[in-house]
Amino acid sequence: MKWIVVWSKRRGYGFLVTRLQRRKSRNWLKSIGIVIALGKSIWNGVTHNMLDDIHNHWKRAEAVRIKCLGVPTLDMDNVCFHVEEKSGGKIIYRHINILILYRGRNYDPQNQPVIPLMLWKPYAPIYPKLVKNIADGLTFEETKEMRNRGLYSPALMKLTTNGVYVIVVARVREAFQTEEVIRLDCTHVGMSDCKRIGVKLRDLASCVPILFKDEQIILWRGKRDQE
């Protein structure tokens, strides 16, 4: 039988919860009452203010519960890496978009690092053009045909504002096994988040964004070696 160590806000010490006990009490995560929402930043959600909140909560509790929403949930491995690196804690539990971050056995609240707060919104970085007029490996007519085919094809998924996108990458990879071009419906998500999602999927699913229009993302799987 496998054991999982969980730190609670109610108790000042670690206690063991078995898989069987966890199934019986599905609300055991609520015992850690502190919740910090993951925001937007260049660190995939880890902002200066969030780090300051984590260290302030660690003064009263050994662990905090972090709820991840939005674009950063496309790559939870990257989120976990940055959360641990920037905060100095250790993730002891991870389930879909919920993280439990432990401060460490030798954590001293009196000597916590001084983190400057972000009192203003930084300027957006200037990135190179995401969508080319003519996709690599295609002619102008073929690119236009791919875009029209994607716009009138049924949507693979419908993404919501500040949703949980953990399964999006796997669904896109699976769809590209049978489809050449797919569409993601991002209505009400916002054009800025649509472009962030497109960049993430380009790197994680090895595809080519060919169109962003009316909060719709059209992705092309690219040229295949066997073709």
Is it true that 3-111 and 140-220 share their CATH fold? yes
Check whether 171 has a pLDDT greater than 90.
Answer: yes
Average pLDDT (8-16) is: 38
Q: Is the CATH code 3.20.20.150 the one for domain 3-111?
A: no
Which two tokens mark 205? Answer: 């699913």
38 neighbors 50 (Cβ within 8 angstroms): yes
**DSSP secondary structure letter of residue 192:** H
Pick the residue with more confidence: 225 or 180?
180
Q: Locate the domains of the chain by residue range.
A: 3-111, 140-220
pLDDT in tens, 41-75: 544 667 777 888 888 888 888 888 888 888 889 99
Which CATH number describes the domain made up of 140-220?
3.30.110.60
- Tell me the pTM: 0.76
112 neighbors 120 (Cβ within 8 angstroms): no
Strands 35-37 and 63-67: parallel
Check whether 226 has a pLDDT greater than 50.
Answer: no
6 confidence band (pLDDT: 50, 70, 90): very low
Check whether 37 has a pLDDT greater than 70.
Answer: no
Which two tokens mark 115? Answer: 């983190």
pLDDT in tens, 75-101: 999 889 988 988 889 999 999 888 999
Average pLDDT (187-191) is: 87
Check whether 143 has a pLDDT greater than 60.
Answer: yes
Confidence (pLDDT) at 163: 86
Confidence (pLDDT) at 137: 84
Average pLDDT (22-49) is: 55
3-state helix vs strand vs coil in the chain, percent to 5 = 35, 20, 45
Check whether 192 has a pLDDT greater than 90.
Answer: no
Pick the residue with more confidence: 21 or 123?
123
